[in-house]
Structure 1
Amino acid sequence: MYANLSLTGVDGPGSSNIDGLDAGTSQFGRVLLYLQTLSADQMIWSYENDPGTREIQRNIWNADDPIILGMFGRSHVTIAFANNFLRETTDAKLTERNVSANTKAEIANYRAEARLLRAMSYYYMMDLFGQANFATEEDAINAQPQAYDRKQLFDFVEAELIAIESDLKDPMQNEHGRADKGVSWMILAKMYLNAEVYIGEAKYTESLEACKKIIAGGYALATEYSHNFMADNDVNSANSEIIFPLISDGTYTQNYGPTTVMINGEVGSIEENGAALGVGAGGWGGALRVRKQFAELFNDGIYSNDTRNTLISGTRSIEITDISDKDQGYVIEKYSNAKSTGSFGVDQTFVDTDFPLFRLADVYLMYVEAQLRGASGASETDGINYINSLRTRANNPQNNLSFSDLSLDFILDERSRELHWEAHRRQDLIRYGKFTGGSYNWAWKGNGTNGIALPAHMDLYPIPSASIASNPNLTQNAGY
C-alpha cells in the first residue's frame, strides 16, 4: 500500500503494475500534482507531447485523458491492496495461522493504517471525481463494486477515520513515511474545510477542531522553509513539520514521481542550474516554469527577500505566449536534491527528496481560514500568531500583522506563496469559487493566452471512459 504511493511497479522506474497505464502517467504523487497544480495558475509544462499534459494545463481534458485515468486507477489499486490486507488479517485468520498475541497487537496498528490509506484514496476520489468504485474487505474479490457519490464517500471517510483513531499511533510516533493520528486528523480537517463544496454543508468548526488536534500533536515548523523541500527532509528540521510524506529515495524508490519531476524540471533552458539543485546541469531543459499570476504574488517589495520566493527572472519575460518556448516565463527553485548539510542525493536524476503531502504550515493556514469563515472556538491571538510565524520563518519583514489585517483573499494568496507546487491549488480555488467561471482567469486557463472562463462542471474531472466500461455502475459526471 505504501509502495503504491511512491512506485509504479517492481521492475524499475519505467515499470507499471497496472495494465494499460505507463509509469509516467500513473505515479500517484505525480498525477495528483498534475490534477491539483498543473491544472491551475502556478505551473506550466513545456513538453506538451507528453500524453495528457496539454489537456490538463489548458483545461481541455476529456474522459480519455491518461493522467485522469492514472489517478483513478492508481488510487483504486491502493484501495484493492488495503481490502486484501484487511481480509487476510482478521482475528480468525491470525488465530488459524498461530500468530502470537504480540504480533496481533502490532497488526492492529497495521490494519488501522490500511484503513487510513484506503480512506485517503476515497478522499481524493471524492475531491477530484465526486465518485468512486466502492468496495471494502467485506466484498468478494473481483465482485463488481458499487458506485459511491460524494455524500456517500464523505460519510464513509469521516466514519472510518473516527473509528480507527484509537488504533493509530500517536503523532510523530510511527516510522518515517507511515501514517499516524496526525494524518487522520489532517484528512478530516481538509474534508471539513471543503464540506460546502462536497456536501453543501458548512463544517468550519469541525475543521478548526481537527486543526487544533494536529497543532497539539507536537509538530513544529522547520527552522528554514527550504528544509521541507530538500534531499534530507526526512531527517533535517522538516521532520517535525511534515505530517505525511510520499517517500522518494534515489537508490530504493527510483520513480518519476513529483519531486523527481519538479527538481529536474526546474532546471531552466537558459540557466542550466541543475548542478546547484543536485541533478544534471541541464536537467530536463526548461520543462517547468511558472504562470504570470503566480509570479505576481511576489511582486510587492516585502516579498523580495522572502525565502518562499525562489523565482528566477533574469532576462526572461513574465509572460508565456508560446508554451513551447522554454525561454519564456520565470523558473523556480523550490525543490532540490541538495541536503541541508551541503551534500547531495545519491542519484543525479532520481532524487532523495520526499514529497510533503501534508505539513504543519497548511494546518496553520486552515485554522485561520476556518476562523474567518465563522468557525467557533478559535482564538484571534493564536490565529495571528500562526500567520506571523510563517512570515517570520520566511524572512518577510511584514511579520507583525494584526488579526484585522487578515481576509479570506489574503489567506488564499498566502496559501499559494506558502504551499505552491504541493498539490493543493485546484482544491483551494474551487473552495473560493475561482477555479471555474470567469471571476479569476490566469494564463492559458481554458486554452486562452490570457485565460477564459471555464464551465462549472469542470470543478470535477470526468470519470475515465475505461473505468465506466469496466463498471457500468459508474455514471459520467455532468457536462462530459
Structure 2
Amino acid sequence: MKDIFNKIIFSLAISMFIVSCHDDLDQSPIDPDSFTQEDVFADASTAKGALAKLYASLALTGQEGPAGQPDIADIDEGFSQYSRMLFNLNEITTDHAVVGWGDPGLPDLHGLYWSSSNDFTEAMYSRLAQVVSFSNSFIANASELSETEVEAYIAEARFLRAFAYYNLMDMYANVPLTTVISTELPMQSNRTEIFAFVEAELLEIQDILLAGNEYGRVDQVAAWALLSKLYLNAQVWTGTDRFADCVIFSDKVMSSSYSINMNDANGNGSAYDELFLADNNTNGAQDEFIYALNFDGLQSQTYGGTTFLVHAAIGGNMDASEFGVNGGWGGLRTTKSLVNKFTVDTDALNASLGTQSDWGLVGSATPNGWDGPDAEMHETGTNQYAIYVTLVDGEFKFRFAEDWGNNYGDNDADNTIEPDGSNIAVTAGTYYITLDLDTLTYTIDLYLGDKRGMFHSDGQNLEIESIPPFEDGYAVKKFKNVDSNGNQGNDAGGDFVDTDLPLIRLAEIYLNYAEAALRGGGGDLGTAVNKINELRTRAYGDTSGNISSSDLTLDFVLDERSRELYWEGQRRTDLVRYNYFTTESYLWPFKGDEVNGLSVPDYRNIFPLPINVLSTNPNLTQNIGY
C-alpha cells in the first residue's frame, strides 16, 4: 500500500485541487497532459488516486518532489511539510527540543516570543487550511459517483478534514469552519463549534470507515483513536471535561486488532526503536500504527517528514552513516529536562536487592571518591553482593567496612579479584555490579534501564548555555534511516529517508486511558497500570521498570508520555492540558528565552492567526494577545 499510494501521488498532478477554490470548477488546465476533474473522478478507481493526494497533502510539499511547484508559497518548501511544522510548533516550543538555526522566526519558537507574522505559524495554518480545501473538493466530487466503495473513500476524506480541524482547533482556536467549496469569505467559528463538528464527523463516519484498511490509510479504529485524543483535551478546548468519553473510546481502541510492537527485530534488547526504523512498515511496528505518514526515499521525497528528523538531529562527532544518511544538518537537540526523565533511580533498584552490607565500592569513579564513604553493596545471598551505581570515568576497588586492610582489586583485568589488587578502570555510566566472595569474581554490566532514551552525549553538553552551538544539549538518536538488519534505506545517495512517522499509535491511547481514568473518567486503574507496564516492559526489555498502582499519578503519566512520545509532535498539547506550558509550575532551559526558564503570558497557549489571512478576510478577529 505504501508503494501503491506513493506511485499514484507522483503519477497524478490532480489539478482539480489547484482550482478547487474557484466557482468555475469545470475549467480545464492549460497543460493537455494534466488530468482534469472529469478524469480524476471518472470512477472509483480514479477517485482512489485523488484520495492519495489527500493523504499526500500531509506528507509531501508540492508537485515535483522535494522542491519545485510547492503547494504553499512564501516559505521554503522544505519547511512547509506538515510534520516538520508540527515538530516546530509542538516540540521546539517545549522542553523536548531546541534548534540552532537562525532562520527568521525559528529561534522565537523555543523562546516562546513569536509574533503574529511568524513564518512557521503561518505555514502550518496554510498547510492545514489546504487539507480542508482539498478534502472539501474531494467530498463534493466523489459524492457524484455511485460505486459502493466510494462511500468509504469519502469517509476517509472526512477523517482527514476532521484531523486538520483537530489541529487547527488545538493550535489556533477560533478558525473558520468550511465544509463546502465557496468563493464567499467564511465567518469565524469558535473552539466549541469546531469541537462539535469534529466530534460529529468522527461519530458519523466510524461505521462507514473500513474495519481494517490498507497500510497507510485510516480505518474505523482511527476514528475511535482521534475521538480519544479529542475527548482528552475537551476541558481545555470547550470548558467541559469529557474524560469518561475518552475512557470509552480509548477502551474501544485497546480492544481492537492493533497491538503494541514487541518484536525486537534487531536484537538490541528493546522493541521500541523498531518503531522508528526504515522498515517500520513491515518489522512489526505497523501493527501499532493507527495513522502514520508514509515516506519512501525514492517515491516520496521531501525535506520534511523523517528526512528532517534524521538529518537535522545529526551534528558534532556523530556518524551520519549510522543513521543511513549522507550527513547531518546540525540543528536539533534536546534539553536536560527530557534527558533527566530517563535518569535511573538507583536507590529504588538497590532497595529491591536485599539487606545493605559492609562491602562497598571506593575510588575515583564512585560518588564519594577515594576518601569515601563507600558506595555500599547489598547482600543477595551468602557471600554474594550486588549494587546498582552511577559511576564517572575513573577507577574503583571493593572494600570491606571502609577498611583498607580488607580490599580487593583486579590485577589482570580478567574479572577475578585479588587482595589489595589493582584498581578497576571504568567509563561513565550506570552499572549493575556483583561480587562473589566464594569464587573471588565480579561482574560489571552497563545498566541501560529505559531504552527509549536514545541520546548522543559524546562531545555534547547536558547543560545548554547558548542555543546555537550544536554541542550544547544532547543529540537525539530516535529516528534512523536503516532497517532492522542495519541496511540503509532505498535512497542510495542518503538524502531522503524511508522511515514512516506515526501520528497516532496505540501506545498513546494507553496513556490517554490512564490519564482520563485518573482525572475521574471512570475506567479501571488496574488496567491502566497493566497497559503502562506493557510499554515499560518493552522499554526496559524486562519487568525491572514496571510500576505499581501507587506510582500512577497524573505527573507520572505526563512524564511517561514524554518518555514514550518525545519528538512525535505531542508535547505542547500535553503541557497545555496540564497547565504547564506557559506557567511557572514547570520550567525548562530557555523557556521564555531565559537560560533557566521563566513563565510567559497564557495567551501563548495558542498561536496567532496569520496576518495575511486577517488582511484578506475581515470576518476574522485576531487571537487575544497578538
Query: Tell me, what secondary structure is at the counterpart of 1:146?
Result: coil
Is 2:466 the partner of 1:423? no
Amino acid at match of 2:621: T
| Residue 397 (structure 1) shift | 4.9
| Residue 372 (structure 1) shift | 0.6
* Superposition map of 1:57-136 within 5 A: 57-90=110-143, 93-94=144-145, 104-136=147-179
| Residue 452 (structure 1) shift | 1.2
Question: After superposition, what is the alpha-carbon deviation per residue over 1:373-419, rounded to whole angstroms, capped at 9, x for unaligned?
Answer: 1112x123311110111110011654332212210011111110110
Is 2:99 the partner of 1:52? no
Query: Tell me, what secondary structure is at the counterpart of 1:243?
Result: strand
Is 2:282 the partner of 1:235? yes
Equivalent position to 1:261, from 308, 316, 325: 308
Alignment-derived partner of residue 324 in structure 1: 468
**2:254·2:506 contact (CA, 8 Å) conserved in 1?**
yes
Alignment-derived partner of residue 339 in structure 2: 295
Query: What is the CA–CA distance in structure 2 between the aligned matches of 1:117 and 1:460, rounded to whole Å?
Result: 22
Equivalent position to 2:490, from 339, 346, 371: 346
| Residue 111 (structure 1) shift | 0.4
Query: What is the CA–CA distance in structure 1 between the aligned matches of 2:71 and 2:461, rounded to whole Å?
Result: 42
Alignment-derived partner of residue 201 in structure 2: 160
**1:231·1:337 contact (CA, 8 Å) conserved in 2?**
yes
Is 2:251 the partner of 1:206? no
Farther off after superposition, 297-306 or 390-399: 297-306
TM-score (norm 2): 0.72
**1:389·1:399 contact (CA, 8 Å) conserved in 2?**
no
Query: Tell me, what secondary structure is at the counterpart of 1:245?
Result: strand
**2:449·2:545 contact (CA, 8 Å) conserved in 1?**
no
Equivalent position to 1:215, from 240, 254, 271: 254
Amino acid at match of 2:279: D
Query: Tell me, what secondary structure is at the counterpart of 2:520?
Result: coil
Equivalent position to 2:71, from 12, 17, 28: 17
Amino acid at match of 2:243: Y
Equivalent position to 1:443, from 566, 581, 589: 589
Query: Percent of aligned positions with the same letter in both sequences?
Result: 39
Is 2:523 the partner of 1:470? no
Query: What is the CA–CA distance in structure 1 between the aligned matches of 2:232 and 2:544, rounded to whole Å?
Result: 27
Query: Tell me, what secondary structure is at the counterpart of 2:165?
Result: helix
* Superposition map of 1:355-366 within 5 A: 355-366=501-512
Amino acid at match of 1:192: Y
| Residue 177 (structure 1) shift | 1.1
**1:231·1:353 contact (CA, 8 Å) conserved in 2?**
yes
Query: What is the CA–CA distance in structure 1 between the aligned matches of 2:157 and 2:499, rounded to whole Å?
Result: 24
Alignment-derived partner of residue 36 in structure 1: 90
| Residue 226 (structure 1) shift | 0.7
Question: After superposition, what is the alpha-carbon deviation per residue over 1:116-154, rounded to whole angstroms, capped at 9, x for unaligned?
Answer: 1001111100000102222112xx432211211100100
| Residue 260 (structure 1) shift | 0.9
Distance 1:19 1:312, change over 3 A: closer
**2:155·2:209 contact (CA, 8 Å) conserved in 1?**
yes
Equivalent position to 1:283, from 328, 343, 346: 328
**2:191·2:238 contact (CA, 8 Å) conserved in 1?**
yes
| Residue 179 (structure 1) shift | 1.0
Query: Tell me, what secondary structure is at the counterpart of 1:244?
Result: strand
Is 2:546 the partner of 1:400? yes
5+ unaligned residues in a row in structure 2: which ranges? 1-53, 263-270, 347-446
Question: What root-mean-square deviation, in Å, do the aligned CA atoms of Structure 1 and Structure 2 show?
Answer: 1.4
Query: What is the CA–CA distance in structure 1 between the aligned matches of 2:500 and 2:187, rounded to whole Å?
Result: 35
Amino acid at match of 1:120: F
Q: Which of the pair is proportionally richer in helix?
A: 1
Query: What is the CA–CA distance in structure 2 between the aligned matches of 1:361 and 1:71, rounded to whole Å?
Result: 26
Query: What is the CA–CA distance in structure 2 between the aligned matches of 1:411 and 1:51, rounded to whole Å?
Result: 35
Amino acid at match of 2:571: R
Amino acid at match of 1:332: V
**1:13·1:256 contact (CA, 8 Å) conserved in 2?**
yes
**1:293·1:442 contact (CA, 8 Å) conserved in 2?**
yes
| Residue 301 (structure 1) shift | 4.2
Alignment-derived partner of residue 246 in structure 1: 293
Equivalent position to 2:517, from 365, 371, 386: 371
**1:298·1:304 contact (CA, 8 Å) conserved in 2?**
no
Farther off after superposition, 117-126 or 252-261: 252-261
Higher relative contact order (CA 8 A, sep 6+): 1
Query: What is the CA–CA distance in structure 2 between the aligned matches of 1:298 and 1:394, rounded to whole Å?
Result: 11
| Residue 478 (structure 1) shift | 0.5
* Higher Rg: 2
Alignment-derived partner of residue 459 in structure 1: 605
Query: Tell me, what secondary structure is at the counterpart of 2:218?
Result: coil
Amino acid at match of 1:276: E
Question: After superposition, what is the alpha-carbon deviation per residue over 1:57-94, rounded to whole angstroms, capped at 9, x for unaligned?
Answer: 2111111111101110010111111111111122xx33
TM-score (norm 1): 0.93
**1:384·1:403 contact (CA, 8 Å) conserved in 2?**
yes
Query: What is the CA–CA distance in structure 1 between the aligned matches of 2:612 and 2:81, rounded to whole Å?
Result: 18
Query: What is the CA–CA distance in structure 1 between the aligned matches of 2:586 and 2:133, rounded to whole Å?
Result: 39
Query: What is the CA–CA distance in structure 1 between the aligned matches of 2:459 and 2:134, rounded to whole Å?
Result: 50
Query: What is the CA–CA distance in structure 2 between the aligned matches of 1:385 and 1:437, rounded to whole Å?
Result: 32
Amino acid at match of 2:183: N
Amino acid at match of 2:63: V
Alignment-derived partner of residue 60 in structure 2: 7
Farther off after superposition, 382-391 or 396-405: 396-405
Alignment-derived partner of residue 389 in structure 1: 534
| Residue 47 (structure 1) shift | 1.1
Alignment-derived partner of residue 409 in structure 1: 555
Query: What is the CA–CA distance in structure 2 between the aligned matches of 1:249 and 1:58, rounded to whole Å?
Result: 34
**1:42·1:421 contact (CA, 8 Å) conserved in 2?**
yes
**1:434·1:440 contact (CA, 8 Å) conserved in 2?**
yes
| Residue 268 (structure 1) shift | 2.6
Query: What is the CA–CA distance in structure 2 between the aligned matches of 1:146 and 1:19, rounded to whole Å?
Result: 24
| Residue 43 (structure 1) shift | 0.6
Q: Which of the pair is proportionally richer in strand?
A: 2
Distance 1:19 1:288, change over 3 A: closer
**2:80·2:304 contact (CA, 8 Å) conserved in 1?**
no
Amino acid at match of 1:356: P
Query: What is the CA–CA distance in structure 2 between the aligned matches of 1:148 and 1:329, rounded to whole Å?
Result: 41
Alignment-derived partner of residue 144 in structure 1: 185
